[in-house]
Amino acid sequence: MPELLRGLGASAGTATGPAYRLADPPRLPAPRPVTDPVAETRRAHEAVDAVCAEIGRRAAAAADPTSGEILRVQAALSGDRTLREGIAAAVRAGHEAPHAVAAVLADHRAVLLAAGGSLAARAADLDDLRDRVVAHCLGLPMPTLPEPGCPYVLIAVDLAPADAALLDPERVLAVVTSAGSFVSHTAILARARGLPTVVACGRALEIGEGTLVTVDGTAGRVSVGATGEATAAAVPPTAPAGELRGSTADGHRVALLANIGCAAELSGVAVEGVGLFRTELLFQHHLDPPTMAEQVEAYAEVFAVLGSRPVVVRTLDAGSDKPLPFLHETDEPNPALGIRGLRVARRRADILKTQIAAIAAAARGSAARVAVMAPMVTTVAEAAQFTALCRDAGLSTVGVMIEVPAAAVRAAEILQAVDFLSVGTNDLSQYTFAADRRSGELADLLDPWQPALLSLIALCAAAGEALGRPVGVCGEAAADPAFAVVLTGLGVTSLSMSPAAIPAVRAALAAHTVDECRAAAQQALAAADPATARAAVTRV
């Protein structure tokens, strides 16, 4: 019987694999008296220089700009005069090199922790520097990721930027940390790579080496002692383009699209298009605000990779669980119900206008079929306004996401104002069931098989069929092969998910006729609860 550990879901998706722990940081040896303070100071400074130079090399090699930037800032600390002077003072006070470095960084760390909030979450940045410098002084190997020789689930107290930057989705299936928060670097970088991640899982370190675990980064749960096969995170499917298209056994087309956050996520992945291009990364990890030119470049990079394939760009989805705290009031009593998604434009219309102009400019210079959609749309008026803005900018295909129940029940009216709908099942669940999507305790309510959620999706799909306009689903739920069959039966025309999940969904659709899908959908809609719905569909 697998044991269930709870934490916070920090990066959506699920994966199963053997658990391996990040090596413990080096321990400080018993202190010895300093005989030559000058030589000892030089030893400490050289250690800092060597470690920062190494971090700088990693920054240059970092695959994505997010990791690179965090590492470059860390590397630059080698020249920081407060650090150098602090170390010299600590040595003069009688600490030998590793102790001196640890003491200076510990002081600064304490201030960060005392400051609380998002600053406390960054204390790991200094811990990592300390561990590396101490290891260097002692001649110990640097703390590195485990290499068990097979893809694994990484277990750690927390990840430092330098570790997180090395996460290779081909080797690391998922991440579980005992510390950390939704805004720690572990979470930010895991999301950037689409690695299922659970943070703040208090009992994570009790998991034995090599134990098979299933990580559910959506619900924030870790099942220890899971049975079954390890699931590869991102085995790039290499099917020729002709076989990429999703369809049922009898040829009913369902587009199978990828959810991505940057161009790098498309490398080695064969997909028929992108159903959700999240643009938050560009805003989240920029040292300076992204200018129009920077945005054009980032969008054009994705469009170029896609050639003439379709891509749906979602405008900035900030607020609530997406940590861009600057865009909404910090004192919002309930951020999930506050200024988020398209609502940000109520206060900062300029951000949306610039982004739409940048998407349009990038689209003009590319062959990709570019569509744009807005997140968290609630009313017909919002949809109409967004459409007008995009059309004015020269974007011809405009849609909105259906994440709010109010929008789902008026899907037919909203669809008259736009070209397509895209249902975001994660948020639609959260708002329909009044259950925080990060609450592990309420995970049963957030089950996508809940009949009430299916009813809302059915409303949207029916609106699409009536008007002959596409209605897609781009939540994590679309990645569940059995659920994809139900969605197809409801009349959903495209499914967008993490690229790794597409082959299984394609196979499930190809195994059923469209009538079988419809029968499955009716069974699921008629079921009393999620378990009955699942069971009914399995029988079809």
Partner 1 sequence: MIRTVLLGGRAGLHLRAASRIADAAARQPAPVTVRTAQRPAAVPADSVLSLLSLGALCGTELILEAYGPGAATALESLARLLAIDPDVASA
User: Which are the catalytic amino acids?
Assistant: 185, 474
Report the distance separating Cα 289 and Cα 97, nearest Å.
39
> Is residue 80 close enough to count as binding partner 1 by CB under 8 A?
yes
Extended beta strands in 385-525, E state: 397-402, 420-423, 471-473, 494-497
> Strands across the sheet with 221-224, in order?
3-6, 221-224, 212-216, 14-21, 152-156, 172-177, 197-199, 8-11
- Smallest gap from Cβ 282 to partner 1, in A, equals 8
Strands 212-216, 14-21: parallel, antiparallel or unpaired by DSSP?
Answer: antiparallel
| Residue of 40, 96, 125, 480 interacting with partner 1 (CB under 8 A) | 125
- Smallest gap from Cβ 85 to partner 1, in A, equals 9
Closer residue to partner 1, CB minimum distance, 189 or 457: 189
Give every CB contact of residue 63 below 8 A, 6+ residues apart in sequence: 165, 264
- Smallest gap from Cβ 50 to partner 1, in A, equals 18
Contacts with partner 1, 368-387, as mask; x by CB under 8 A: --------------------
| Residue of 20, 182, 283, 433 interacting with partner 1 (CB under 8 A) | 283
| Residue of 242, 267, 350, 468 interacting with partner 1 (CB under 8 A) | 350
Closer residue to partner 1, CB minimum distance, 83 or 212: 83
Closer residue to partner 1, CB minimum distance, 18 or 161: 161
Closer residue to partner 1, CB minimum distance, 264 or 324: 324
By CB atoms closer than 10 A (0-12, 13-18, 19+), residue 138 is: middle
Closer residue to partner 1, CB minimum distance, 115 or 367: 115
For residue 527, what are its two tokens? 């079921």
Contacts with partner 1, 154-173, as mask; x by CB under 8 A: --------------------
- Smallest gap from Cβ 69 to partner 1, in A, equals 7
Contacts with partner 1, 81-110, as mask; x by CB under 8 A: xxx--x--------------------xx--
| Residue of 92, 171, 353, 369 interacting with partner 1 (CB under 8 A) | 353
Backbone angles phi, psi at 172, to 5 degrees: -105, 125
Return the range that interacts with partner 1 (CB under 8 A); candidates 40-48, 120-128, 150-158, 196-204.
Answer: 120-128
Number of residues engaging partner 1 in binding (CB under 8 A): 43
- Smallest gap from Cβ 290 to partner 1, in A, equals 6
Strand partners, 215: 15, 222
> Is residue 73 close enough to count as binding partner 1 by CB under 8 A?
yes
| Residue of 35, 238, 267, 330 interacting with partner 1 (CB under 8 A) | 330
- Smallest gap from Cβ 184 to partner 1, in A, equals 11
Q: Tell which residue, 511, 512, 469, 507, has the closest CA to residue 489.
A: 512
> Is residue 286 close enough to count as binding partner 1 by CB under 8 A?
yes
For residue 219, what are its two tokens? 């619900």
Give every CB contact of residue 284 below 8 A, 6+ residues apart in sequence: 66, 188, 322, 323, 324
Closer residue to partner 1, CB minimum distance, 10 or 219: 10
- Smallest gap from Cβ 199 to partner 1, in A, equals 18
- 105 neighbors 87 (Cβ within 8 angstroms): no
Residue showing tokens 């510390």? 179
Q: Tell which residue, 178, 170, 187, has the closest CA to residue 11.
A: 187
- 119 neighbors 112 (Cβ within 8 angstroms): yes
Closer residue to partner 1, CB minimum distance, 114 or 434: 114
| Residue of 112, 212, 361, 401 interacting with partner 1 (CB under 8 A) | 112
- Smallest gap from Cβ 287 to partner 1, in A, equals 6
CB atoms within 10 A of CB 52: 22
- 496 neighbors 314 (Cβ within 8 angstroms): no
| Residue of 69, 127, 297, 436 interacting with partner 1 (CB under 8 A) | 69
Backbone angles phi, psi at 196, to 5 degrees: -55, 130
> Is residue 324 close enough to count as binding partner 1 by CB under 8 A?
yes
Closer residue to partner 1, CB minimum distance, 108 or 369: 108
| Residue of 284, 315, 429, 494 interacting with partner 1 (CB under 8 A) | 284
Return the range that interacts with partner 1 (CB under 8 A); candidates 79-87, 145-153, 204-212, 419-427.
Answer: 79-87
- Smallest gap from Cβ 179 to partner 1, in A, equals 17
Half-sphere exposure for 466 (CA within 13 Å, toward CB): 12
* DSSP calls for 89-109: HHHHTT--HHHHHHHHHHHHH
Element containing residue 66 per DSSP (H, E): helix 65-76
| Residue of 6, 21, 43, 122 interacting with partner 1 (CB under 8 A) | 122
Report the distance separating Cα 284 and Cα 523, nearest Å.
42
Backbone angles phi, psi at 86, to 5 degrees: -60, -40
- What residue ranges bind partner 1 (CB under 8 A)? 69-70, 73-74, 76-77, 80-83, 86, 107-108, 111-112, 114-119, 122, 125-126, 283-284, 286-290, 292, 316, 323-327, 330, 350-351, 353-354
